Amino acid sequence: MVSIKILALTAVISTTTTALSLPLVGAFDTIKGQSLFNLPGNDNKPIPGDSPMSVCDASEPQLLELKSLTISPNPPLRGENMTISAVAYLSKDIAEGAYVEVDVFYGYIKLLHQTYDLCEQIGEVDMECPLKAGEYTIIKQVAIPDQVPPGKYVVNARAFTEEDDYITCLSATVVFPVALL
């Protein structure tokens, strides 16, 4: 069984380094770009490209502007690789001490609330701190495990600098369908 920490770390890695998407599996499902579990205010904005991700707290100033995000295949398939392609603009350098708060829900049950060191996690996408201000283009391939339990997952990730400047807020709803025999 895939651990919740692995799913959450996978989400953190991709969403916080470039505000990419979640390398989670299954068919992605959004309901008018909203979710019952989005962060307070339901102030979401879709991200250009082909992905289920949205920027949450969109009316709040954020240091990262996600210009495009594509996940291929979309929806991802269990047991196969998924490619994440993103272009983002970072308006301020990100130094050691930056962090990400992640919430993972399975249906209506909160499975995880965890804070991660952003600089420790971005090594998974071949980056390191400090991240310099400027434009980033990232292409990353992620292996999707075929053991992901079926069900609806909602992941919210909010990233901050060491000084608590808002880097980004991302949300996605992921549905892992029941495998047919």
| Residue 175's pLDDT band (cuts 50, 70, 90) | confident
Name the residue with higher pLDDT: 50 or 40: 50
Task: Compute how many other C-beta atoms are within 10 angstroms of the C-beta atom of residue 96.
Answer: 12
Architecture, CATH, for domain 4-176: Distorted Sandwich (2.70)
| pTM score of the predicted model | 0.76
103-138 pLDDT tens trace: 999 889 999 999 999 999 998 888 999 999 999 999
Identify which has the larger pLDDT, 39 or 121. Answer: 121
Among 31-35, 43-47, 61-65, 168-172, the minimum mean pLDDT is found in 31-35
* pLDDT at res. 29: 33
Q: Which of 32, 64, 17, 11 is nearest to 171 (CA)?
A: 11
φ and ψ of 105, to 5 deg: -115, 145
Phi/psi of residue 149, nearest 5 degrees: -65, 140
Q: Which of 90, 74, 91, 96 lies closest to 17 in space, CA to CA?
A: 90
Is the separation of the CB atoms in 93 and 133 below 8 Å?
A: yes
Residue-wise pLDDT tens digits, 60-92: 999 999 999 999 988 777 788 989 999 999 999
Q: Which residue is it, tokens 């990100």? A: 94
